[in-house]
Structure 1
Amino acid sequence: MSVKNNYKKRRRITKEEKDLIKEQKNIIDQSAKLTKVLVTFILFIIFLSFVVNLFIHSTSRTVLTRQGQLIKAIEGEGLFIRNEKITIAPISGKLEIKVQEGQRVSANTLIANIKNNQTRHKLYTYNSGVVSYHIDGLESSLTIDNLKRLNYDRYKKLRYKVNQVNDGEKLNNGRPIFKIVENYLLYLIMPLSKNKSYLFEAGTEVRFELLEKEIQKKFSAKVDHIIESKPKDLLVLRVESFPPLFLNLRKTDVKLIRSSYNGITVPISALVKKGSKTGVMVIQDDKHSFKEIKVVSKGEEKAIVKGVGLGIQILEKPKQKMEG
């Protein structure tokens, strides 16, 4: 009798256990579903953050503000004009050079002799200056005194050919031998289109470089005047020094620098407008904010600015573009 009762009791306990196990299983299943949903949500947030960051970095790259220089320059052909006096051979004969090219002499200095069988003719200077044996044929027609008669059409028609003599050479009567150059007056002429010549006015100080010469040097000049012409004007510059390089130079390619600035540079594309203020979008702690700046000078690709430090991270191409 007692054995039967114990068996029934075990049967009741087993059923309760089954109910408990079933209930626990349901709880585990619900927790698993909830965990799955939570993990899926977290993964979605991570993926969304990645996509947003990828979009931001692909559409709004960042750059650092840099120290740099902005040069505003115009490149073109230049023509040098000097006061030059030529001496020609009065007789035929053999040349004897007494003074080397580039040497400065005073008036009445013996420069050369011409010898033939009968006589020796001595050649003296009539004025002081620098000796040159480099004759191009424009010395008499292209002078500082008749500069005002030059226009763009006459400029384009200028032609020259270098004629240089050497010591011991046999010369014919009438051949140019040497010239004396006044080395305190030198002018540079540059043809400029109308939309560029207006940028200059008399008295403006500029600098220029010689593009065809392997000389990393800038020369100073001042705008003397502008010859109005068609289709281009002629910019007349008075060069403030006369180094030996300019003694025989006539036409050459020139880079005319009208202004240069040093300072903090940013890309033009980084400039934005906020109302009447100009600024850049500064990045800090993955956030960007508007920083007002002052634009000192603008070029085609970059600008010199004040109001932001060196090495600051900014948006290169913010969505809010600069007006105008």
Structure 2
Amino acid sequence: MPAKRGEIEQGVGSEGVIIRDEMVYLSPTGGTLRLVAPEKSRARTDTTIAQVVPGETQRRTEDNTGVRLVPEKPGVVSFTVDGLERILTPSSWVDFDAKKVSELVSNPVSVKSGMQVETGRTLFRVIDNYRVYVLVFPEPGITPSVSRVLTEGRKCTLRFDSVPGRLCSAKIVSRVDSTRDDPKPSALLLELTDYPHELYYLRHVHAKIITGTQRGIIIPKQALVKGKDGYLVYIPANLGVDSKPVTVIAGDESQVMCEGLREGQRVVVNPYVVHEAGITVWR
């Protein structure tokens, strides 16, 4: 496989949870539910989102009979709730560490137009789409230089595994350090400044906080061979292979960036085959 020129994102992996400023609305009475506003539509304080028609008039759902439900604050409408809306809030995040967050169970439930509802049944939520947060717990091993970058007020870029092909910008609102003697972030509260609609529904997430981008010559990670004095790769040559030392300057889960190779230079992607098949290593 030829080495190619490309880029590798450097950053910090983290497990996290989405926290939204959202208000949940319950049915004020029993009856037939009629949904008025579309899912993911933006509602004003005078927008009718849903209507509950009492049992004795449930057949007259086309007129104005029934209880109209309007939001107290404007926002984005969703008829799917997961039961964590009142537990995870922008003010309650300080009560959660990585263990407590991992124990939270998200159980999404949706309502549909025409269904019978009882008094107190959860019907929908209205999300303040200007206040969406993610509480992240960075993986261990953060270098001091990266730790100094992850400070309150700094802007950063996130990549969510569950939202492929999309970068999200954010601002670090708050930081909790591991200990006073080990000032590395154990938790970060990030306020998203732009985000895809998937975050209206996601709860538990894995995110990478991107701290920089390296550009250079890239090869697959499995092409590396650990030698006595560092890393090397095998290059096809004269019915055998040459061993060529390389210096790894960056990497991610699947590829590494190396010095010591030219663009287009072919490397053996599965170096273990060289020894299993008895291929000659010239040097």
Closer/same/farther in 2, CA of residues 186 and 318 from structure 1, 3 Å limit: farther
1:140-164 C-alpha deviation (Å, 9 max, x unpaired): 1211122223223332332232221
Residue equivalent to 1:59: none
* Higher-strand-fraction structure: 2
1:279-304 C-alpha deviation (Å, 9 max, x unpaired): xxxxxxxxxxxxxx9x8943377335
Q: TM-score, normalised by structure 1?
A: 0.60
Greater RCO between the two (CA within 8 Å, min separation 6)? 2
Residue equivalent to 1:259: 212
Residue equivalent to 2:191: 238
Closer/same/farther in 2, CA of residues 313 and 196 from structure 1, 3 Å limit: same
1:216 to 155, 165, 175: 165
Select between 244-253 and 96-105 the one with higher mean Cα deviation. 244-253
Q: Which has the larger radius of gyration?
A: 1
Is 1:303 aligned to 2:254, yes or no? no
Is 1:152 aligned to 2:98, yes or no? yes
Cα distance between partner residues in 2 of 1:313 and 1:108: 65
1:103 to 35, 41, 57: 41
Closer/same/farther in 2, CA of residues 69 and 124 from structure 1, 3 Å limit: same
* Higher-helix-fraction structure: 1
Sequence identity (%): 22
Cα distance between partner residues in 1 of 2:248 and 2:191: 28
1:180 to 122, 126, 130: 126
Cα distance between partner residues in 1 of 2:2 and 2:228: 16
Cα distance between partner residues in 2 of 1:152 and 1:251: 11
Alignment of 1:28-39 (within 5 A): none
Residue 142 of structure 2 aligns to a residue whose secondary structure is helix
Q: Which runs of 5+ in 1 are unaligned?
A: 1-62, 274-292, 320-324
Closer/same/farther in 2, CA of residues 140 and 185 from structure 1, 3 Å limit: same
Residue equivalent to 2:9: 71
Contact 2:26 2:123 in 1 (8 A): yes
Equivalent position amino acid for 2:161 in 1: L
- What is the number of residues matched between the two proteins? 244
Closer/same/farther in 2, CA of residues 170 and 141 from structure 1, 3 Å limit: same
Alignment of 1:1-324 (within 5 A): 66-75=4-13, 77-116=15-54, 117=56, 120-196=66-142, 199-200=146-147, 201-202=150-151, 203=154, 205-211=156-162, 215-228=164-177, 233-265=186-218, 297-299=249-251, 302-305=256-259, 310-311=263-264
